[in-house]
Amino acid sequence: MKISPSVRKAHLDNRKTIIDDISKQEILLAKARHLLVTGKIDDEGFDGLKQDYKQQLTILNERLNLITTILTESESDQTEWMYTTSNVFQSYKHQDIYGKRFMIDLLKPSPINLSVGNIDDIIINNTLAKIFDYKTCTNL
Q: Domain check: are 60 and 106 in the same one? A: no
Q: Could you give the CA distance from residue 123 to residue 70 in angstroms, rounded to a whole number?
A: 34
Q: CB–CB of 71/8 below 8 Å?
A: yes
Q: Write the pLDDT tens digit of every residue in 11-49.
A: 889 899 999 999 999 999 999 999 999 999 999 999 999
Four-residue CA torsion sign, 31, 33, 35, 40: positive
Mean pLDDT across the chain, nearest whole number? 75
Q: Model's pTM, two decimal places?
A: 0.52
Residues 16 and 45 in one domain: yes
Same domain, 55 and 19: yes
Distance CA 127, CA 3 (A): 19
pLDDT tens digits for 57-106? Answer: 999 999 998 888 888 877 654 444 444 445 556 666 667 777 777 767 66
Same domain? For 72 and 95 the reply is no
What's the domain count of the chain? Answer: 2
Domain that holds residue 106: 88-138
- Does residue 83 lie in a domain region? no
Residues with Cβ < 8 Å from 10, sequence gap 6 or more?
Answer: 98
